Structure 1
Amino acid sequence: MSKMIFVNLPARDLAASTAFYVALGGTVNAQFSGETSTSLMFSDAIGVMLLTHDHYREFTKRPIGDARRDSHAMFALTVVDREAVDATVSRGAAAGGRADPNPAQDLGFMYNRHIEDPDGYVWEIVWMNPAANA
């Protein structure tokens, strides 16, 4: 079995957060979704698990922080080309996210922008030129 990563995030409004992540390109995995959680797959190896605050508290005794106020982490998601960076950020903003909470970065071989989800988690949408690694 190949390695996978699942990012588990507490969500204040599960429906709004689900709509946001679907707009970013996630596909709902009904097998692991229900009234208190939504599982979204971005590839065979990348998943995001959204959990209501009550459900999230079942997994930790630590308080749930406010990502709108404090930076907790920044997640990066690659896309196929430069145009897909802008399109993904636009779809995310239309689905309730906030575009460009951090400045865009264009290094020629790499281009990225950021989108903040409804709970304040920041995702870097990035394209890297595969020829630049050769």
Structure 2
Amino acid sequence: MTATPKMIFVNLPVTDLARSTAFYEAVGGTLNPKFSDDTAVCMVFSETIHAMLLTHEKWATFTDRAIPDAHKSAQVLICVSESSRDAVDATVDAAARAGGKADPNAVQDYGFMYGRSYADPDGHIWEVMWMDPAAAEQGPEAFVQSQGG
């Protein structure tokens, strides 16, 4: 029996649902109308990765904890992979054009792995990374050693 892959739903409090929906469509998400209404929007990035954009009022129905200002603090860094270095750059560039901030964190370039980041309009940071398939399979130490590093 093949196990069903686990899915992840990243829940994000947003101040402007329409603006956030447009932003996440610009970086590759697709709106799932079955799980969206005027308080929450489900953005699909792959069969297993989804972002739930929640109004502050909707967020408050899940937890009584305060919503931190993501422009000033970070509780989590979300990282997704891309198929190439160029795809990493294209995603971050699309985020910047859509009203996000490119590279709130330093660019990471280790040869076998390349990563950049963007902040959405509410300040939530997403890292976008590519890793050489050989490094992903063998581990970075083996890849660096084979390159004379």
TM-score range, shorter chain: over 0.9
TM-score, structure 2 normalization: 0.87
Distance across 2 between alignment mates of 1:7 and 1:122: 12
Which of structures 1 and 2 has the bigger CA Rg?
A: 2
Residue 46 (str. 1) matches residue 49 (str. 2): yes
Residue 65 (str. 1) matches residue 68 (str. 2): yes
Q: Among residues 9, 32, 35, which one is paired with 1:32 in the alignment?
A: 35
Matched residue SS, 2:89:
helix
Residue 22 (str. 1) matches residue 29 (str. 2): no
Equivalent residues of 1:27, 1:41 under 8 A apart: yes
The structural deviation recorded for 1:13 is 0.7
Matched with 1:87 is 90
Structure with the larger RCO, 1 or 2 (CA within 8 Å, 6+ apart): 1
Q: Among residues 118, 121, 126, which one is paired with 1:123 in the alignment?
A: 126
User: How many positions carry a matched residue from both structures?
Assistant: 134
The structural deviation recorded for 1:19 is 1.3
Distance across 1 between alignment mates of 2:30 and 2:131: 23
Gaps of 5+ in 1: none
TM-score, structure 1 normalization: 0.96
RMSD after superposition:
0.9
Residue 103 (str. 1) matches residue 106 (str. 2): yes
Distance across 1 between alignment mates of 2:20 and 2:75: 17
The structural deviation recorded for 1:72 is 1.1
Runs of 4+ residues over 3 Å off in structure 1: none
Distance across 2 between alignment mates of 1:28 and 1:50: 10
